[in-house]
A and B are shown apart, each in its own frame.
Chain A
């Protein structure tokens, strides 16, 4: 199904998860350290990276930041801690999603498939809202004529919100439609992604025009 790069220092986990994901039809390469993971992601161009946070040498946060610096490859963090700080740190470093160890391979498989689907184009024409042009079939966004570089997750959030301008989508709805999470997703994924999206498309991220917060309900596109 997908080219997966698993960056994980524990050899047993590398083998066990590698085997299990292989049975789900993925081609898994693995790296033992962050440095090797970065090198492999440059060489092999994986479609998705599964990244352990606790790595020797440069840790998962740093790997995540360096990957994000020049690539939009979806990153799923594999965290051994449920501590909020870890998750938030990982999300701020640019991860798209996270799972907590021990993870069921079928859950990880579902998350991998979900991040891959985010890059899928839609059969709809281009639309423009106050200088922001969204090409749904070409999967590109320009602001005032300049291309905006979005990750698949950021793009998918923007597409979901702009599908019905002026209508509020709850964090839960966004979690289900973009992340395809089960009923109990983590709304911080949404908040974090919206923050990154605003930083890229809003003229003034502190008083957003395109992606507005509706306190107590969720987010709304426009009205612009």
Chain B
């Protein structure tokens, strides 16, 4: 369903038009109905009076009992299609006399009063008037004379008047429709403008423009909604500001911690190298102690470096330095620099050019391969693949593989796959840092087991990330 069919505007429009048109039609029909009623009764009134007047004017001079000639006179006085009866005598003239049914005549005789009947034959609506002629005796008494006068009157003009008023009603209703649409559009616009403003403002807010606010006009529900929105925006802005402040603090803390920890480690590292060079000339227990101190200094250094790196990710202070990298060459360099060239099989089919952070790629590969060498068993294989969109680095070992449920937990900080495992070379942060580095590139790492081998880690990185983030 397209928007313009389901939107608020259309619904408002339809409701408004419906109400208006129904109202207009009802009013038109009501006025038509009353007009019609009054037109009909007026026509009947006129016709009746006319017939009575005509009959009256002749009846005065009638001789009783009347003869055929008297009846003819009376009939011509009534005019139009008419029928005058007296007992057996009848005088009839004009069309449509067949409409005068026995029922009508019986009613006239029975009630001894004027009777009206409207009929609608094919020739158009007619009014039938039947009336007994009353004669007034000398002493003023009014008695039925036995003469009955029937007239057929055409209601066509009245019908045309009624039709005209019906057409007027239809026209009025039809006129109401465009008017209703225009009014509905205006009303909808009034209602929808604040809604549109709200939508636009919410969008800008979502895009990070946290200063935007709505203008609050009036005191209706929409104004209330705008006020609520403004309140929400202010609260969110305050929260964001607070979060940013915390982030800034965290970054500063990382910088401070890194400096504080690295200062003594710099001295220790320098001194350890001197001691190591001298260890050969020491007594055995002193030499063992020295070498142990040197070894632990290295571990401590690595742990602190990794901790700082993790803190930097947490503070959002980690940045990518993208450059053109030959992935195969970079991985080869990484293995060679750490003296793993012999122990790791590299399967890199063709030259893969990509835009990556070379240093982070190195850390990533080193951490995964180091992990495989420590916890898996040889042969450790690194497989490189790429298509137009992404680069894939797969590290597989032939050890026992990841334990049940280890695939999710293996990237957790200080995760130890084997509880009984002695403390090893790793800081326990290597895989966590690897996955952070992959995600910083917009990629990810999947952990699992390779059938017929050990653990398998699959790194996927976008090959040519957008220049503009």
**Which A residues form the contact surface with B (CB < 8 A)?**
10, 12-13, 15-17, 19-20, 23, 54, 80-84, 101-106, 171, 182-184, 186-188, 216-217
Q: Which of A17, A20, A82 is the one whose CB lies under 8 Å from B308?
A: A82
Q: Which of B267, B317, B323 is the one whose CB lies under 8 Å from A13?
A: B267
User: For residue A24, which residue of chain B has the nearest CB?
Assistant: B273
- Tell me whether B255 is interfacial, beta carbon within 8 Å: yes
Question: For the complex, what is the distance from the CA of A196 to the CA of B380, rounded to whole Å?
Answer: 45
User: For residue A108, which residue of chain B has the nearest CB?
Assistant: B270
Q: Which of B258, B270, B334 is the one whose CB lies under 8 Å from A80?
A: B258
Given known pairs A23-B277, A82-B308, A184-B359, the reply for A105 and B270 (CB within 8 Å) is yes
Q: Enumerate chain A residues within 8 angstroms of B362, measured Cβ to Cβ.
A: 183-184
B266 and A101 within 8 A (CB): yes
- Tell me whether B183 is interfacial, beta carbon within 8 Å: no
Q: Enumerate chain A residues within 8 angstroms of B273, measured Cβ to Cβ.
A: 20, 23, 104-106
B274 and A80 within 8 A (CB): no
A183 and B270 within 8 A (CB): no
Q: How far is the CB of A74 from chain B (nearest CB, A)?
A: 20
Given known pairs A81-B258, A182-B337, A184-B362, the reply for A20 and B323 (CB within 8 Å) is no
Question: For the complex, what is the distance from the CA of A8 to the CA of B265, rounded to whole Å?
Answer: 15
Q: Enumerate chain B residues within 8 angstroms of A101, measured Cβ to Cβ.
A: 262-263, 265-266
Give a binary string over B242-280; 1 marks a CB under 8 Å from any A CB, 0 the rest. 000000000000010011001111111111011001000
Q: Which of B259, B267, B308 is the one whose CB lies under 8 Å from A12?
A: B267
Q: Enumerate chain A residues within 8 angstroms of B112, measured Cβ to Cβ.
A: none
Question: For the complex, what is the distance from the CA of A106 to the CA of B255, rounded to whole Å?
Answer: 26
B262 and A184 within 8 A (CB): no
A16 and B270 within 8 A (CB): yes
Q: Which of B255, B258, B277, B358 is the one whose CB lies under 8 Å from A184?
A: B358
B266 and A102 within 8 A (CB): yes
- Tell me whether B231 is interfacial, beta carbon within 8 Å: no
Question: For the complex, what is the distance from the CA of A16 to the CA of B312, rounded to whole Å?
Answer: 28
B259 and A81 within 8 A (CB): yes
Given known pairs A54-B259, A102-B265, the reply for A184 and B337 (CB within 8 Å) is yes
Q: Enumerate chain B residues within 8 angstroms of A105, measured Cβ to Cβ.
A: 269-270, 273-274
Question: For the complex, what is the distance from the CA of A105 to the CA of B334, rounded to whole Å?
Answer: 22
Q: How far is the CB of B324 from chain A (nearest CB, A)?
A: 5
Q: Enumerate chain B residues within 8 angstroms of A12, measured Cβ to Cβ.
A: 263-264, 267
Q: Which 10 A-B pairs have the closest CB atoms?
A: A183-B333, A16-B270, A16-B267, A102-B266, A12-B267, A102-B269, A102-B265, A20-B270, A101-B262, A101-B266
Q: Enumerate chain A residues within 8 angstroms of B337, measured Cβ to Cβ.
A: 182-184
A23 and B324 within 8 A (CB): no
Q: How far is the CB of B348 from chain A (nearest CB, A)?
A: 15
- What are 12 A-B contacts defined by CB distance under 8 Å? A15-B267, A17-B270, A19-B274, A20-B270, A80-B258, A83-B255, A105-B274, A183-B334, A183-B362, A184-B337, A184-B362, A186-B359
Given known pairs A106-B273, A183-B333, A184-B359, the reply for A171 and B267 (CB within 8 Å) is no
- Tell me whether B321 is interfacial, beta carbon within 8 Å: yes
Question: For the complex, what is the distance from the CA of A39 to the CA of B215, rounded to whole Å?
Answer: 63
- Tell me whether B53 is interfacial, beta carbon within 8 Å: no
User: For residue B324, which residue of chain A has the nearest CB?
Assistant: A216
**Which B residues form the contact surface with A (CB < 8 A)?**
255, 258-259, 262-271, 273-274, 277, 301, 308, 312, 317, 319, 321, 323-324, 330, 333-334, 336-337, 358-359, 362
B267 and A80 within 8 A (CB): no
Question: For the complex, what is the distance from the CA of A72 to the CA of B359, rounded to whole Å?
Answer: 30
A184 and B265 within 8 A (CB): no
Most chain B CB within a 10 A radius of its CB, from A20, A84, A171: A20
Q: How far is the CB of A60 from chain B (nearest CB, A)?
A: 13
Q: Enumerate chain A residues within 8 angstroms of B333, measured Cβ to Cβ.
A: 183-184
B321 and A188 within 8 A (CB): yes
Most chain A CB within a 10 A radius of its CB, from B273, B308, B321, B334: B273
Q: How far is the CB of A214 from chain B (nearest CB, A)?
A: 11
Given known pairs A16-B271, A81-B258, A84-B319, the reply for A183 and B359 (CB within 8 Å) is no
Q: Enumerate chain A residues within 8 angstroms of B263, measured Cβ to Cβ.
A: 10, 12-13, 80, 101
A19 and B259 within 8 A (CB): no
Question: For the complex, what is the distance from the CA of A216 to the CA of B319, rounded to whole Å?
Answer: 20
Q: Which of B258, B259, B266 is the one whose CB lies under 8 Å from A16?
A: B266
Question: For the complex, what is the distance from the CA of A171 to the CA of B274, rounded to whole Å?
Answer: 34
Given known pairs A81-B258, A183-B336, the reply for A20 and B271 (CB within 8 Å) is yes
A102 and B321 within 8 A (CB): no
Most chain A CB within a 10 A radius of its CB, from B262, B266, B324: B266
Question: For the complex, what is the distance from the CA of A182 to the CA of B334, rounded to whole Å?
Answer: 10
Q: Enumerate chain B residues within 8 angstroms of A83, measured Cβ to Cβ.
A: 255, 317
Q: Enumerate chain A residues within 8 angstroms of B268, measured Cβ to Cβ.
A: 16, 102
Given known pairs A83-B317, A84-B319, the reply for A23 and B274 (CB within 8 Å) is yes
Most chain B CB within a 10 A radius of its CB, from A16, A186, A187: A16
Q: How far is the CB of B149 from chain A (nearest CB, A)?
A: 116
Q: Enumerate chain A residues within 8 angstroms of B334, measured Cβ to Cβ.
A: 183-184
Question: For the complex, what is the distance from the CA of A19 to the CA of B278, rounded to whole Å?
Answer: 13
For the complex with contacts A12-B264, A187-B323, 18 further pairs of A-B residues with Cβ separation under 8 Å are A10-B263, A12-B267, A13-B263, A13-B267, A17-B267, A20-B270, A80-B263, A81-B259, A84-B319, A84-B321, A101-B266, A102-B270, A105-B270, A171-B323, A184-B333, A187-B321, A187-B358, A216-B324
Question: For the complex, what is the distance from the CA of A101 to the CA of B323, rounded to whole Å?
Answer: 25
Question: For the complex, what is the distance from the CA of A182 to the CA of B336, rounded to whole Å?
Answer: 11
Q: Enumerate chain A residues within 8 angstroms of B274, measured Cβ to Cβ.
A: 19-20, 23, 105
Question: For the complex, what is the distance from the CA of A58 to the CA of B260, rounded to whole Å?
Answer: 20
Question: For the complex, what is the distance from the CA of A105 to the CA of B317, rounded to whole Å?
Answer: 28
B266 and A17 within 8 A (CB): yes
Q: How far is the CB of B360 from chain A (nearest CB, A)?
A: 11
Question: For the complex, what is the distance from the CA of A211 to the CA of B270, rounded to whole Å?
Answer: 39
Q: How far is the CB of B2 from chain A (nearest CB, A)?
A: 45
Q: Which of B255, B270, B323 is the one whose CB lies under 8 Å from A19?
A: B270
User: For residue B308, which residue of chain A has the nearest CB?
Assistant: A82
Given known pairs A13-B263, A101-B263, A184-B359, the reply for A217 and B271 (CB within 8 Å) is no
